[in-house]
Amino acid sequence: MDSVFRALADPTRRLLLDRLRERNGQTLRELCERLDMARQSATQHLDVLVGAGLVTVVRRGRERLHYLNPAPIHEIEERWISEFDRPRLRALSAIRDRAEEYAMTVETTAVPTYVYVTYIRAGAEQVWRALTDADLTARYWGHANVSDWQPGSDWEHRRTDGSGAVDVVGRVLEAEPPTRLVITFEDSAGVEPPRDPSVVTFLVEPHHDIVRLTVTHENLPNTEMLKGISEGWPAVLANLKSLLETGDVLPQAPWEMSGTHA
């Protein structure tokens, strides 16, 4: 946590995070152009942010795309903001956001990719099993993810209330145990007009007894879905981390995937 505070202490680094919050997934060149900053200076600041876990780098061919990672800031919130204070602070934020909506109009040409990174004290095989075992996903997700997890196979996100209802379906695009899983992600009821499904990539990078798990959610259809998964993925992954590290999930309601893909 000390590295996070050191990274946030510099106004230039805070400005870089602001720019990524406005538009995630920018290259070094794009960030330099927006901030009128030399590449060497921007690289040094980004390296500090990456080292603190506040920024995640995703490679696309020769490009390095930079994404804001909210996990460390979320941990700060969890440590110092009580359950009593959280509703009051959210109400204040809602008032501020509504005022800002009247103050300016933001035009969005494309919905950005969502990236979330968490570190888990477990082995890569344990994390892979937690991602693909129906019983384990039922414990930390509130739904059972069911498939044989072979490339080309279907998968289902089934409710655990006894109804057998399926809220999300998809197809396994890639499966490289225990390091990489790529699936499509779409509402089981379908949408009109039909569109390409979003794509979720789980990247498991082991290092001794620690695993870095990166979840990338791409091809999002609209900002409504981006907002939904931005609230959902941190909850799901926090539950997964807790289950693997402590044997139990956090005392919170499971995330409902249904209704986040409209």
Name the percent of the chain lying above pLDDT 90: 45
* Same domain for 41 and 19: yes
* 259 within a domain of the structure (yes/no): no
Please name the residue ranges forming H helices in 104-175: 124-132, 134-141
* Same domain for 170 and 78: no
- Render pLDDT for 76-86 as a digit per residue (tens, 0 to 9): 776 665 555 55
Rounded to the nearest angstrom, the gap between the alpha carbon of residue 161 and the centroid of all alpha carbons in its chain is 26
CA distance linking residue 200 with residue 182, whole number of Å:
6
DSSP classification of residue 200: E
- Render pLDDT for 126-144 as a digit per residue (tens, 0 to 9): 999 999 999 999 999 989 9
CA distance linking residue 22 with residue 13, whole number of Å:
14
CA distance linking residue 107 with residue 185, whole number of Å:
26
Specify the range with the lowest mean pLDDT, choosing from 136-145, 167-176, 194-203, 252-261: 252-261
Residue 252: pLDDT band (50, 70, 90) is low
* 256 within a domain of the structure (yes/no): no
* Same domain for 88 and 16: no
* Same domain for 167 and 58: no
CA distance linking residue 156 with residue 69, whole number of Å:
28
* 257 within a domain of the structure (yes/no): no
∠ CA 173-175-177, nearest 5°, is 170
Q: Does residue 150 have a pLDDT over 80?
A: yes
Rounded to the nearest angstrom, the gap between the alpha carbon of residue 17 and the centroid of all alpha carbons in its chain is 16
* Same domain for 28 and 8: yes
Q: Does residue 67 have a pLDDT over 80?
A: yes
Residue 93: pLDDT band (50, 70, 90) is low
* Same domain for 211 and 194: yes
The whole-number average pLDDT for the span 109-131 is 87
* Same domain for 124 and 65: no
Residue 111: pLDDT band (50, 70, 90) is low
The whole-number average pLDDT for the span 37-53 is 91
* Same domain for 128 and 29: no
* 261 within a domain of the structure (yes/no): no
**pTM value surpassing 0.75:** no
- Which domain, by its residues, includes 86? 73-103
259 vs 198, residue with greater confidence: 198
Specify the pLDDT at position 86. Answer: 54
* 258 within a domain of the structure (yes/no): no
Could you tell me the CATH number of the domain that includes residue 8? 1.10.10.10
Specify the pLDDT at position 87. Answer: 56
- Render pLDDT for 2-34 as a digit per residue (tens, 0 to 9): 888 999 999 999 999 999 988 888 999 999 988
* 252 within a domain of the structure (yes/no): no
Number of domains in the chain: 3
* Same domain for 134 and 16: no
Specify the pLDDT at position 22. Answer: 87
Residue 109: pLDDT band (50, 70, 90) is very low
CA distance linking residue 52 with residue 69, whole number of Å:
10
* Same domain for 150 and 199: yes
CA distance linking residue 246 with residue 248, whole number of Å:
5
CA distance linking residue 165 with residue 93, whole number of Å:
36
* Same domain for 123 and 47: no
DSSP3 helix / strand / coil % (the chain, rounded to 5)? 40, 25, 30
Domain end residue (candidates: 103, 125, 147): 103
The helix/strand count (H/E) of the chain reads as: 9, 9
* Same domain for 50 and 13: yes
| One-character DSSP codes across 128-148 | HHHHH-HHHHHHHHSEEEE--
